[in-house]
Amino acid sequence: MDKRYDHKLYEEKIYSLWEKSGAFTPKIDPKKKPYTIVLPPPNASGRMHTGNVLMIAIEDLLIRWKRMQGFSTLWIPGTDHAGFETQITFERTLKEKGKSRFDFDRNTLYKKIEEFVLENKGLIEEQIRNMGASVDWSRYKFTLDPDVIETVVNTFEKLHKDGLVYRDNYMVNYCPICGTTFADLEVKHKERKDPLYFLKYGPFSLATVRPETKFGDTAVAVHPDDKRYKQYIGKEIEVEGLLSKFKLTVIADTFVDPKFGTGVVKVTPAHDKNDYEAGLRHNLEIKPVIGLDGKLNENAGKYAGLAVTAARKIIVEDLRKKGLLEKIDENYIHTVAVCYKGGHDIEPTILPNWFVKVKKLKEPAHNAVKEGVVKIYPKWQESKYHRWMESMQDWPISRQVVWGIRIPAWYDINDNKNLLITFLNNKKETVSGEIGKLSEKYSFEEIEKGLQTLIAPQSAKYVIAAHKPKGEFLQETDTFDTWFSSGQWPLVTLGYPNSKDYKYFYPTDVLETAWEILRLWVSRMIMFGIYLTGKPPFKDVYLHGIVRALDGKKMSKSLGNVINPEEYQEEFGTDALRMGLISGTANGKDFNFPRDKVISFRNFANKVWNIGRFLSIVLEKEGYKKYDDLLSYSKDMESKLKQEDKDLVKKFDQLTKDVNTCLGKYRFSDAAEVIYHFMWDDLASNYLENNKNRVDKDVTLSVFRHVYFNSLKLLHPFMPFITEAIWQELKNQRKYPEQLLISSSWPENM
């Protein structure tokens, strides 16, 4: 053995050795108990971050532990298409080339993003390998694999058949100029100076930058703790309008900032996100006044047909004439949402979206945790799950994005002449409008080929089908929310409903992920698992904490505090990074990246290596060149053992019990610490140093070899590379020299 352990000489070689051995790929064996984990799929659009690395370290630890205990262990890898995030990342590359998504029809854009993702997907897979993850690559899944899409579509069809799917209004970021919606991530925010108008509203004066939306007001709001307006809460006020007098109820809501304007705001649920959410809370009417063309509609009376900016000028002047305009602050600075494409003002707009009714789905999922069928670790995180399940509202599952699983809804253009579409014609020109009028000029084939977006009104007739019906049908251009498709991840990875894997490995044993997606992802997987199979998809949920920057702040490129895990792997080795992260976390709580611990465990790796090197040198010196040259440790040696030998074996037995207990309770840091202290203090500093000069070297070396090799087994799930490297270096000192450590049996108490 070399004087120092050089991780760069071993890691790639050892991973290849494991993979070729078949240790990662379990067989369906009725005689063995299955143990299954599905890897929460990292986004395929970029590289893994420190949170992903912690996740892999923990899950690999569990899998290696159970594999060595004799379970048929399956750990399924995969990556997520990551909808919006991936499309936006791709669009940045288009922008560098002077192009945008609006230059392509929907199908062409999808194929271009797919090519981009396939390139990046390989980077993620390489990172997973470099982390030493003993995943079964033969069962690898991508969230847009054909069989995954089929299952997700079938689930949607079943939900629809069971009356659990409906279309309803939902607020989106809409640009009337571009004629399309934008994700929150696509919306830019810029500071701008605009007039702030103070208007008379019954007994109140209130401030707004958007007087033109007053025709859609359905309430006025104050903060519940604002003493100025306590007497008005819950009462109805009469407001003098431009068209006629109207009545509004005064509601109390914490979204109101008492310091803004006069502390009273008008509530227009159809055209403001905060107002929309307040409207849902207070059951307010949603009354749109601006159409998809960016012009005021019939609810604006004589102002109908005017574009927003033009309408505002006229309405402000009419308010002045009527004495309803108190004053104008011409220097009001505020943040405005604009689309990233052309910098046009975003118009928050209510559009029909697809929803899932959650009441019937969430009740059994909630009960599964209440009754302990699914256990959440650490226990204190469970209350978050209960609060979420109690408050969960119906779930909007459609997203206005190309990159994803397209919703299998089809519209007959002859029955739905008011479908609003945007498409590229044969000359690559953008055309928008109602399908009924456009089909007079363009063929169905030209429209279908160049289709970019489709907006179907609430009243549209549709057919739910996995494949296109006969006739002139256009498919919904919205895709499923990624949480809808990834919510079925345990099922699709195991080949639900008919595969042998599904029948043997489902339900899985533990779902390990970050606490921040307990609501978005974990709850949905439990809901779908029970809905489709009658069983929750996993027995335990372990929620790890968020890895923060060295200064304790959330990692952010803009702050320049992002930690690249690969740099630490390169400098200190993967084992040190894994062990540092595992030891650095306090049972599910957020923690700063433990640089000091990574360095400490690099030193520990060298210590473990040096112990093995010392053992190798002494055995060689004493003439014990092979396993059989030295008597094998067993209970029959009891009479030959000195007290220090017995004490060491006893401490090791206790160590094994402690590690099993800690891992069974998902207390990974505790398990790491007891192994560290045993090997450094009890085995090396005490036993090794105090027994170097014993006369009965055959006894002490037999005990030492036995305890050291079994300590390597306990350490292996935490630090797999160096333990396997030592295991192979000392192969002649083992009973079965060709056996890999990854495939060896877990220590049993003597």
Residue-level pLDDT at 557: 59
- Alpha-carbon distance 701 to 691, whole Å? 9
User: In 10 A of CB 546, how many CB atoms?
Assistant: 16
Q: Which CATH superfamily is domain 32-157+483-544 in?
A: HUPs (3.40.50.620)
Cβ atoms of residues 446 and 425 within 8 Å: yes
Cβ atoms of residues 270 and 288 within 8 Å: yes
Q: E strand or H helix at 709, and its extent?
A: helix 697-715
Task: Report residues of the chain scoring pLDDT below 50.
Answer: none
Residue-level pLDDT at 183: 67
Name the pTM for this structure.
0.87
Cβ atoms of residues 217 and 248 within 8 Å: yes
Residue-level pLDDT at 749: 65
Cis check for the bond before 469: say yes or no (omega within 30 of 0): no
- Alpha-carbon distance 289 to 276, whole Å? 14
Residue-level pLDDT at 476: 97
324-341 pLDDT tens trace: 999 999 999 999 999 876
Residue-level pLDDT at 40: 95
- Coil, helix or strand for 552? coil
Q: Give the phi and the psi of residue 732 in degrees, each rounded to 5.
A: -70, -15
288-328 pLDDT tens trace: 999 888 999 999 999 999 999 999 999 999 999 999 999 99
Per-residue CA distances from 700 to 68, 556, 693, 706 (Å)? 27, 54, 10, 10
Burial class (CB in 10 A: 0-12, 13-18, 19+), 440: exposed
**61-90: burial string, b at 16+ Cβ within 10 Å, e else:** bbbbbbbbeebbbbbbbbbbbbbbbbbbbb
DSSP lists the bridge partners of residue 221 as 251, 265
589-621 pLDDT tens trace: 888 888 999 999 999 999 999 999 999 999 999
Helix 595-621 to helix 720-729 angle (10° resolution) is 10
Domain 180-349 is in which class? alpha beta
31-67 pLDDT tens trace: 999 999 999 998 887 778 888 899 999 999 999 999 9
DSSP lists the bridge partners of residue 475 as 410
| Structure tokens, 526 | 């439990």
Residue with tokens 């990292």: 42
Question: Could you state, in order of their start, the residue ranges of all structural domains in the chain?
Answer: 32-157+483-544, 180-349, 408-477, 595-743
The CATH number for 595-743, chosen from 1.20.1630.10, 1.10.730.10, 3.40.50.720, 3.30.450.40, is: 1.10.730.10
* Separation of CA 76 from chain center: 16
- Alpha-carbon distance 291 to 24, whole Å? 57
Residue of 15, 58, 7, 42 whose CA lies nearest to 581: 58
Helix 697-715 to helix 668-677 angle (10° resolution) is 160
